[in-house]
Structure 1
Amino acid sequence: MRTLRPLSLTAKAFAPFGDVLDATGDHRLINAGLCKRHHDRARLDFGDARAGISIFQAEPRSFPYSFDLIERHPEGSQAFIPMTADPFLVIVAASPDAPPQAFLTNGAQGINLHRGTWHGVLTPLSAPGLFAVVDRIGTTPNLEEHRFTEPWTVLAP
């Protein structure tokens, strides 16, 4: 059995795959000093299409979590912003031939996957699994899938 353990999601570790969306680091005060704006946190890329916001509701999973499917969106980035303060699992890979990596969010983080990043399906660990998703809306295909011949299992951290 091929296994991996999730790493804590950090901007540095996740940088090859995308951006971490969180309220840490530099900010500026707005709204009469009552709001911290953590500005321009993600590199959004929709090519010649437009950005759209969708709401996803995914079934929660648990550890050990087994998967054999990864996918990518060659025409645009894809951001997942949880609508609850629950951790979720993020699986990414440099290519279908490279071993995947797993990251565990801390419950106050979202992610933005760069255009073309291979990734697992949305994997909440708690109900209701509700996410706002910002991604490309266009008329041309934007999904490629790959199935591993042998599944991977993510063990509990």
Structure 2
Amino acid sequence: MTKEIPPQPLTAAAFAPFGEVLEATGDFRLINDGWCQRHHDRAVLDFGPDGRAGISVFQAKPRALPYSFDLIERHPEGSQAFVPLSQHPFLVIVAQSPDHTPLAFLTNGQQGINFRRGTWHGVLTPLHAPGLFAVVDRIGPTPNLEEVRFTESWTVIAP
């Protein structure tokens, strides 16, 4: 049996228990002789005592709604930020724990996200090609991935 969840729009308030929304809204300061708005310090990056920041580029195959999943993961040693390299919406799945009902968020195509250290989340789920993302996460000497499968699949339905 598949359980259904509707996606909700990604907002900073709704996503706050899991991390930060990265977007060019709200307060800013002008830089570059007034040609650029700097929306400053948008996420708390946490790489633990023995980690460092790394920037990777991920290319994920696009998925479609309805989207079924049974796998979530977390990174206990550090935060993980996803910044899309194209202006296409993507799906963000999070859960308080593997025992809780997951939530699904749909970005507006101009948002990235930062998962706090230890946040349970779904895999990278672009909804359009090319599925390219800059990812800022922990590089370190110890494993930083835990995966869990739900006993039943969840399906994110079309909004």
Q: After superposition, what is the alpha-carbon deviation per residue over 1:38-84, rounded to whole angstroms, capped at 9, x for unaligned?
A: 00000000012100000000000001100000000000000000000
Counterpart Cα distance in 2 of 1:16 and 1:99: 14
Unaligned runs of 5+ in 1: none
Corresponding residue SS for 2:155: strand
Number of the residue aligned with 2:20: 19
The equivalent residue for 2:142 is 140
SS for the counterpart of 1:133 is: strand
* Aligned-residue RMSD, C-alpha: 0.4
Matched with 1:117 is: 119
Question: 2 CA distance for matches of 1:143 and 1:136?
Answer: 11
SS of the residue 1:139 aligns to: coil
C-alpha separation between the residues in 1 aligned to 2:65 and 2:114? 23
Moved over 4 A (4+): none
Structure 2 CA distance for aligned equivalents of residues 156 and 129 of structure 1? 19
Q: Is structure 2 residue 31 aligned with structure 1 residue 39?
A: no
For normalisation by structure 2, the TM-score amounts to: 0.98
Residues of 2 paired with 1:57 and 1:36: CA distance? 28
The aligned amino acid for 2:110 is: A
Q: What amino acid maps onto 1:66 in structure 2?
A: S
Could you tell me which residue of structure 2 aligns to residue 76 of structure 1? 78
Residue 88 of structure 2, aligned match among 86, 89, 96:
86
Residue of structure 2 in register with 1:128 after alignment: 130
Offset from partner CA, 1:66-105 (integer Å, 9 cap, x none): 0000000000000000000000000000000000000000
Query: What TM-score do the two structures reach when normalised by structure 1?
Result: 0.99
Distance 1:42 1:150 in 2: 33
Task: Point out where structure 2 has 5 or more consecutive residues left out of the alignment.
Answer: none
Aligned partner letter, 1:72:
R
User: What is the number of equivalent residue pairs in this alignment?
Assistant: 157
